[in-house]
Amino acid sequence: MKKNINDFMNILKEKNLIIETHLKENVKSQEIEFLTDNSKEVKPGAVFICKGSHFKTSYLQEALSKGAICYITQEKSFVDKEKNYILVSDIRKTMSILGNYYYDNAWKDMKIIGITGTKGKSTTAYLLKSIIDNYAASKGEKPAGILSSIENFDGEILEESHLTTPEPLKLHWHFNNMKNNEIKYCIMEVSSQALKYERVSGIEFDIGCFLNIGEDHISDIEHMDYRDYFTSKAMILNISKHIILSDSVNFDEIDIDARAYENKTSKFGSYPEDDYQVINIRKKQDGFDFQVRYMDKVKDYCIGMGGKFNVYNALAAIAAAKKLGIPHINIYKGLADAKVSGRMELFTDEKKNVTVIVDYAHNKLSFQKLFESVSEEYPGKKIISIFGCPGGKAFSRRKDLGEIAGEFSDLVIITEEDYGEEDFDKICNEIKSHTSGRKADCLIIKDRNEAIKTGLSYYKSDFVVLVTGKGRETRQKRGTDYIDTLSDVSIVKKLLNK
């Protein structure tokens, strides 16, 4: 149903968010043709929302010149008495409320599975999507929608994602596309930032998966400390009908009484008391076979990807699928067929002299698990690691990744990874300082293509190259701009083919 400005006014008044307004009488009853926070998307009849720390007056001017009938802002400095505006006290709450309202709670027409954790969100999301897609195909239904740090698919579009969890207006737009395309399941990664800053406010997940927690995203612009990070992640407990929880997560660390959630929680892990217990993990050439004990029954499963830690991501996907009522045969086939873009992607040259693993690992927990797994699966082989760290956030990664790579690698090559507005050399030298005194040699090569080329040719034979952080992403953040680049996978394939 079409909405007008009066409708927006009423709901914002109800939530006590309006500070002041300036609206011409004929505008108040005007139907809203679109709702956006991107000036490039504005069309006649749109309502434009001013948001973001990098917002510029030129964005507002562009939106108005393109036919926006009204704008909403939290900043008094953007108020212009000659224009139609609504000044609000909290722009983030406003976006979530209006996005949900404008698209008529489209998310309620499907099963929503939200996945959070320091590592493994994307892998678990795609494993679960493969399971659901197998099940949907057996019933002649559409494949699941997905909103991830890799890509977004909503039945209307398939695009490389810009954020782990979309901003509220874009999020509800995706939900609406899924609804219009008769998609019955949506799997989405839910970041700590999305939970903390209300991007998912007003949504209730049918299933919330909490995979793990580690120290990451601690900075002045993300989370002030570990407690804030953990508390933000834990917000998923209150907005989920059922919780799939790793036995590694200990809420005592932040004084949350887990017993309050017992009636809606299923635990997964390796302990006999877990609701879903993984047993008998066996390495095979292209992945793992394993068994899962659930309700005193034991079932066989397999995944076609390396990294023993991915068995636990598969276990979370199995638990979620069981809760959704998906039969065992579809879970088994879905997992066996699953491919996760950019996650533990394995490449070799023709002579099998070099093994290259491309993975998105980019924080302490994922790095530790990746290096431990590679050391176990490729004993005796030299290891070359190629990675960087982003600018302006997660500063502790520079120490953590430097120490881990220095401990496990024979050669560390530090390269660019979205250095943004921070000095590239400063980032690299900080990482390098934490590899000092360890066994690894260390090089700094700014061009990522050249860094990978150097890594692949450094030793003559029998070594493993880990290229981490970017996977199949095709952009690098330099300054405030995102520049198109070749993905790590494309670079590796090109060099190995040569």
What average pLDDT does range 189-218 have in this prediction?
92
With cut-offs at 50, 70 and 90, classify the pLDDT of residue 422.
Answer: very high
How many other C-beta atoms can be found within 10 angstroms of the C-beta atom of residue 280? 11
SS3 of residue 146 by DSSP: strand
Which of 253-257, 293-297, 326-330, 438-442 comes out lowest in average pLDDT? 438-442
Query: What does the pLDDT look like over 244-285, one tens digit per residue?
Result: 999 999 999 989 988 899 999 999 999 999 999 999 999 887
**Domain residue spans in the chain?**
5-102, 106-337, 345-497
Is pLDDT at 218 greater than 80 in this prediction? Answer: no
Superfamily of domain 5-102: MurE/MurF, N-terminal domain (3.40.1390.10)
The pLDDT mean for the chain works out to 92
Maximum pairwise Cα distance, the chain: 76
What value does the mean pLDDT take over residues 116-136? 96
Element (H, E) at 28: helix 25-28
- Check: CB of residue 217 under 8 Å from CB of residue 393: yes
Sign of the alpha-carbon dihedral angle for 120, 121, 122, 126: positive
Using one digit for the tens of pLDDT, what is the confidence trace for 366-389? 888 899 988 988 888 999 999 999
Q: Which amino acid is at 317?
A: A
CB of 229 closer than 8 Å to CB of 219: no
* Lowest model confidence (mean pLDDT) among 51-55, 219-223, 418-422: 219-223
Predicted pLDDT at 306: 83
Of residues 270, 272, 274, the one with CA closest to residue 308: 270
CA distances from 43 to 6, 40, 57, 366 (A): 20, 9, 18, 43
CA distance 190 to 155: 20
CATH number listed for the domain at residues 106-337:
3.40.1190.10
CB neighbours (10 Å) of residue 126?
A: 24
154 Cβ contact partners less than 8 Å away, ≥ 6 residues apart? 145, 147, 174, 175, 177, 178, 181, 183
- Rounded to an integer, the average pLDDT of 27-51 is 95
pLDDT of residue 498: 59
Angle between helices 91-102 and 5-14 (to 10 degrees): 130
What pLDDT is recorded for position 160? 86
Confidence of residue 116 (pLDDT cuts 50, 70, 90): very high
How far apart are the C-alpha atoms of 4 and 173, rounded to whole Å?
A: 17
* pLDDT attached to residue 373: 87
Q: Are residues 348 and 130 in contact, defined by beta-carbon separation less than 8 angstroms? A: no
pLDDT tops 90 at residue 124: yes
- Higher-pLDDT residue of 498 and 305 is 305
Q: What is the CATH number of domain 345-497?
A: 3.90.190.20
Both tokens of 173, joined, read 């737009």
Residue 9 near residue 30, CB atoms below 8 Å: no
